[in-house]
């Protein structure tokens, strides 16, 4: 698969949203505040894949009805309630809400699902410790990790729905991928899994 990746990030949440383009075909990973610019640039998005349901990753979903009503939203079934419930998506706490998106009718994902779209094949990996439905998306040799894995860090598990007991198994699942895999996190810069698991103090013990 050949595609370009553009990152969109906007304060105050500094959440990364990614636009993947392959000719006339495009999909997005997460849809935070930065996705407003993405929606203007790429009005014909085929799909938005949400790594989880926190407000900073879903803040611009309301634009889809206006800019791209045919876009299909994908989210793990465990995090679908976050799209409707401000107490779960933390939109008030993050000064982004309250956020509740009625009428999205998202496609509900499960661990191991593989979604084929024109120009893209998306493999879904459940990493349920930051939220019950946190997912990473593997597209070619690129892994979009949301808030499961950062450069020199990992996501929190102490927020509503978090599960510290699932953190280690989730990170081991990520660690099982080829070292050359490039990861693109929900915040900050990414890199290769090989480098991250070599240098991150959180991950070296998994090797």
Instruction: Specify the pLDDT at position 1.
Output: 66
What's the pLDDT at 23?
83
Q: Which residues of the chain have pLDDT under 70?
A: 1, 42-43, 205, 207
Q: How many CB atoms lie within 10 A of CB 207?
A: 7
pLDDT of residue 53: 97
pLDDT at 10: 79
Count each helix (H run) and each strand (E run) in the chain, helices first.
Answer: 6, 14
**Which domains are delineated in the chain?**
4-206 (3.60.15.10)
pLDDT of residue 204: 74
Strand order in the sheet with 191-192: 114-117, 120-126, 135-139, 142-146, 182-185, 191-192
Tens of pLDDT along 52-67?
999 999 999 998 878 7
């Amino acid at each position: 698969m050949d595609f370009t990746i553009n990152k969109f990030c906007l304060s105050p949440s500094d959440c990364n949203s990614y636009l993947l383009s392959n000719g006339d075909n495009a999909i997005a990973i997460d849809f935070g505040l930065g996705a407003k610019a993405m929606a203007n640039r790429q009005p014909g998005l085929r799909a938005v894949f949400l790594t989880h349901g926190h407000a900073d990753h879903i803040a611009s979903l309301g634009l889809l009805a206006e800019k791209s009503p045919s876009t299909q939203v994908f989210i793990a079934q465990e995090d679908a309630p976050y799209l409707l419930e401000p107490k779960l998506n933390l939109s008030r706490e993050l000064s982004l809400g309250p956020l509740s998106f009625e009428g999205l009718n998202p496609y509900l994902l499960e661990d191991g699902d593989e979604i084929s779209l024109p120009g893209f094949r998306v493999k879904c990996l459940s990493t349920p410790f930051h939220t019950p439905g946190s997912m990473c998306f593997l597209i070619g040799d690129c892994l979009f990790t949301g808030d499961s894995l950062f450069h020199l860090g990992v996501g929190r598990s102490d927020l509503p729905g978090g599960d510290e007991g699932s953190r280690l198994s989730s990170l081991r699942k990520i660690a099982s991928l080829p070292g050359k895999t490039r990861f693109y996190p929900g915040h900050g810069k990414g890199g290769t899994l090989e480098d991250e698991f070599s240098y991150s103090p959180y991950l070296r013990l998994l090797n």
